[in-house]
Amino acid sequence: MSRDDHPWTAFYGPSARREIDNLSYRSIGDMVSSVASVYGKAPAFTACLPNGMNGTLSYAQVDEMSDALAVYLREIAGLEQGDRVAVQLPNGLSFPIAAFAVLKAGCVLVNVNPLYTAEEMAKQFEDAEPHALIIVDMFADKLPRATRGHPIPNIIVTRVAEFLPAMPRGIVGLVQKYWDRTIKPIELAHIRLPDAIAAGRHKQHTDNIEVEPYHSEMSPDDTAVLQYTGGTTGVSKGAMLSHRNLIMNMEQTFELLHGHVEKGKEVALTALPMYHIFAFTVNLLGFYWLGGRNILIPNPRPLSNLKRAFENYKVTWISGVNTLFNGLTNEIWFTDSPPRHLKFASAGGMALQTAVAERWEEITGKPVIQGYGLTETSPVLTFNPLGKARPNSIGVPVPSTEVICLDEEGNPVPHGEAGELAAKGPQVMRGYWNKPEETAKSMRDGWFLTGDIAVMDEDGFFRIVDRKKDMVVVSGFNVYPNEIEDCLAGHPGILEAAVIGVPDDASGEAVKAFIVKRDQSLTPEAVRAYCKEHLTPYKVPKQVEFRDDLPKSNVGKILRKDLRSEDAAQVAAE
């Protein structure tokens, strides 16, 4: 790889590899066992509840329990290599045990959002056809409806406080059962996770079963995870991510952090759900590989749920989305006592607004570094090199990755011009599960088409302009919601903002802004006047609507598509 063709490599650290040629492990199961043999009794995962109650598992404990559960899946439940296992869990000590067990068993992990409705669960189960499901008891009452017509033969149920010490585990159980009443009777046949682990452990010892052959015979290109996404076409589909995809992306990401993270010494706060691809690859796999300690937050809402974790642990790293960082910088407890051991934070999932990044660094004294990726790319494609980050940039491609911007005909555009971002590298998915037509739409001559509009400067730093489908065309001019939202975020009276395009008789489309106020006296006229000071006239919102809150995904990403649907329904009703 020459620096003339790939100018971004000049911004890598002096010891960073431009190309990562060798795969460190054949499979994730190999990686889990190998790392556990190094770090043994060191704390691997700590679940921290809002009141500070907590529980910790060491590397050795996670390794041993995931081995036992892998034996249960293969020898007792009767699963075979390549069978799918759905895991529908919030962040907690059960998650790494379940995920690692599935991968050690040579099976395919299907991550499922635990907050899905029964209808959403049914669609994913129907598509993935899992042979087993590991689910938290809070949502197991949805199973009769979710599995109607396509039953799952093996159901394993766990608790939010599973593997915490007896006292906090009992307190949480009583509160959920009698106070919150979030635990309902489970109608389908099932086994409890501790019982499944115990049964697998007994089988393993009685029959002298070795777990390693389950995964050591696998190819690095075998599918490890089915990660569901709306992708660029809006159709829900499972991205087939291989062991190679995930292991390589883990190493690609941390290669650009070389010298800034230390093996065996990092403490990562994981507020993003681990069923989300960013937290799965970077937090779950990456910090396990580093020998770090992962502080797991079962539910980050309200944000005060993070307070005790910041107080009780020397957090060195946190990942999140713009709304998480924006929210924390508006919490008095956080601004009064920001984390003292923090090295940096990383942002992805949605555009990091300039005002939010500046406020975060002003409060914490440490930068929030923006990266970029998609489910289909495992997920990281680009990352800002520490110490060399550029404002409003998603950074430079990670090692062994090529990124270009294409015009409508599929030709590369000159530096500085906007085009659809396309990527090629070892982290790009194998394709979509059982959807060759959807795969063909997203892939062109080995390049994955992201659906995002980006610009690359002469140094190889990229900037996302917007989603291709979110672009607003006003009187023939392209308007990118990210730019307007970034402007609105700088207004002291605005807490959150989202922008969409709405039909307009005069201009074809017009810009509409949805705003959550910080200053209750704020008016639409004041918003428009502020925008006129910073934006070209055709970019100024023609309509302004105030809301108490904005629709968000479970990782905190503002959902413009929901706003578009709500606005269209409102117009139709009127």
CATH number of the domain residue 526 falls in: 3.30.300.30
Instruction: Of 305, 255, 302, 311, give the one whose Cα is nearest residue 282.
Output: 255
Contacts of 380-385 with CB under 8 Å at 24 or more apart are: 380/249, 380/252, 380/253, 380/278, 380/281, 380/282, 380/348, 380/427, 381/423, 381/425, 381/427, 382/462, 383/253, 383/256, 383/346, 385/11, 385/12, 385/13, 385/256
d(CA 385, CA 7): 14
- Domain assignment present for 362: no
Judge whether 470 and 498 are in contact, CB under 8 Å: no
- pLDDT of res. 233: 43
For residue 193, how many C-alpha atoms fall within 13 Å in the half-sphere facing its CB?
25
Percentages of the chain per state (helix, strand, coil), in multiples of 5: 35, 25, 40
- Domain assignment present for 50: no
The three-state secondary structure class of 253 is helix
Token pair in block for residue 426: 């070892």
Torsion of CA 358, 360, 365, 370, to 10 degrees: -80
- pLDDT of res. 231: 44
d(CA 68, CA 23): 27
d(CA 258, CA 365): 21
- pLDDT of res. 507: 80
d(CA 148, CA 119): 10
- Domain assignment present for 273: no
pLDDT tens for the 574 residues of the chain, in order: 344 578 999 999 888 999 998 999 999 999 999 999 999 999 999 999 999 999 999 999 999 999 999 999 999 999 999 999 999 999 999 999 999 999 999 999 999 989 888 988 998 999 999 999 999 999 999 999 999 989 999 999 999 999 999 888 888 888 877 777 778 889 999 999 999 999 999 999 999 999 999 998 899 999 999 999 854 444 579 999 999 999 999 999 999 988 899 999 999 999 999 999 999 999 999 999 999 999 999 999 899 999 999 999 999 999 998 889 999 999 999 999 999 999 999 998 777 889 999 999 999 999 999 999 999 999 999 999 988 989 889 999 999 999 999 998 999 999 999 999 999 999 999 999 999 999 999 999 889 999 999 999 999 999 998 777 788 888 777 788 988 999 999 999 999 999 999 998 878 889 999 999 999 999 999 999 999 999 888 899 999 999 999 999 888 889 998 999 999 898 888 8
Using alpha carbons only, how large is the chain's radius of gyration in Å?
A: 24
- Domain assignment present for 370: no
- Domain assignment present for 396: no
- Domain assignment present for 301: no
- Domain assignment present for 511: yes
- pLDDT of res. 119: 85
Instruction: Of 232, 274, 320, give the one whose Cα is nearest residue 113.
Output: 274
- pLDDT of res. 333: 98
- pLDDT of res. 232: 41
| Structural domain total, the chain | 1
d(CA 334, CA 247): 34
Domain boundaries, position 490:
472-573
- pLDDT of res. 3: 46
Write the CA distances from 562 to 116, 145, 306, 569, integer angstroms.
16, 25, 28, 11
- Domain assignment present for 561: yes
Token pair in block for residue 425: 């590298």
